Structure 1
């Protein structure tokens, strides 16, 4: 198949998607039946529209093979289920991005792989914390509190920050932190080696594993069994320590682990 053919087919499919999404009735019907098959009375109660309006929408969806009627109940076809499942994902992605839009709009996300960006819905329960003029250390203090409650940490570290490193070393020395894995680039690793305290506390510490990558890093990701946190760079290339995204739910941890493994492998 040529690129031209692919583009034409995608444009045709876009028309079909637009046909669904530009109608609140068709969209509501798919989402309602996606939860479970429904009869007309149940659809009228759920959607709060008259029977004539609902039946018209059902007929339109039947004509494009997205729903079918089985006795008195309307259910999704296989095509309808697949389309609606992806529509739910689109809505959740939109919600997740919009919920923390200031965080995403302000930062460079180019280091996050496209296939991981497509699953932003996994971060829908993440919370955005930021520092203010009255509390310049709010984001950093939230971060330190989180890592102080963890026994294992895996971190993509894009900056050389003695302040961060010294907190990691303190937790290791206090035996609160049992294991630390750092992913850094060669420049940061060499800088750690040149600092005798950091070299002793990190490179020579048996509880610490350091992986060097041959690239600049643009994300600061911290992952543990209890939480994930993400800080990013401004679009002008400067690191932003004033805004942090934090989550503790299973979906967010799944998202963070996939991002971590992308850089670790």
Structure 2
């Protein structure tokens, strides 16, 4: 995707994509027959448009091999199905980004792998939490409440935070956790080893597994048995503890697991 040849090809294909996206009728027709084939009457009732308008749009899509007619029913071709699937993904990605645009706009995304950014639609149902001037610890408090109800944790920990460690150790001592898996940089691991209390409570605890990586990441991810959360760094390099995304649905959990595995494998 970085070669000159590929960029030229992408520019050419953009003309075809633009042809689809600049017509609401063409988009609606593709979405209407995405899961089931439909006849003209069904399309007219669903789209609330006259037959002539619908037939014109169908003819345009037939001409570029995205829709075909079988008997009296219209259905997607294989090309149409592939294009519509990715168009839905684009729409959901756009929705996901726009729904939490304050969070995404304010932070450094460079350490989130490209493939994960392409699948940001999986986070479309997460909730945005932020601290306020009247409650500076709101985001952190909600985070601690969530891990307190968890039994397993997978964490990409990009900061050395005694406050986070304190709660983690407390919950370990209370036998709340079955397992904790941490991904930390060499710098942070060195700091943990130099702190006798942390060294004893974490490194010598059989329930805790620590994966050490070379780089200092700018992603704070937590995935448990019942939630995921994501917080990031400002673009100036400072960690932002005032804003957090929290998800509990299957898609958000899947996204978090894939990100954790990316850095742990």
What TM-score, normalized to structure 2?
0.97
* Shift in Å, 1:5: 4.1
For structure 1, which runs of at least 5 residues remain unmatched after alignment?
A: none
Secondary structure at the aligned position of 1:108 is classed as: coil
Supply the RMSD in Å over aligned alpha carbons: 1.1
Q: How does 1:1-265 map to 2 (within 5 A)?
A: 3-265=3-265
Shift of 1:126: 0.5
1:201, CA displacement in angstroms?
0.7
112-121 or 3-12, which deviates more: 3-12
Structure 1, 229-238 or 188-197: larger mean CA deviation: 188-197
Q: 1:195: Cα distance to partner?
A: 1.2
| Distance in 1 of aligned mates of 2:262 and 2:38 | 42
Give deviations 1:240-262, integer Å, cap 9, x for gaps: 00000000111111111110011
Residues 39-65 of structure 1, C-alpha deviations (whole Å, 9 max, x = no match): 111111111111111110000000001
> What whole-Å deviation, never above 9, does each CA across 1:130-160 have from its counterpart, x for those lacking one?
0001111110011001100111101000000
Unpaired runs of at least 5, structure 2: none
Tell me the distance in 2 between the aligned counterparts of 1:59 and 1:136. 58
User: What secondary structure does 1:34 align onto?
Assistant: coil
The structural deviation recorded for 1:186 is 1.0
**Residue 3 (structure 1) shift:** 4.3
Distance 2:228 2:33 in 1: 35
Closer, same or farther: CA 4–230 of 1 in aligned 2, 3 Å: closer
Structure 2 vs 1, CA of residues 147 and 75 (structure 1 numbering), >3 Å: closer, same or farther? same
Tell me the SS of whatever aligns to 1:155.
Answer: strand
SS across alignment from 2:233: strand
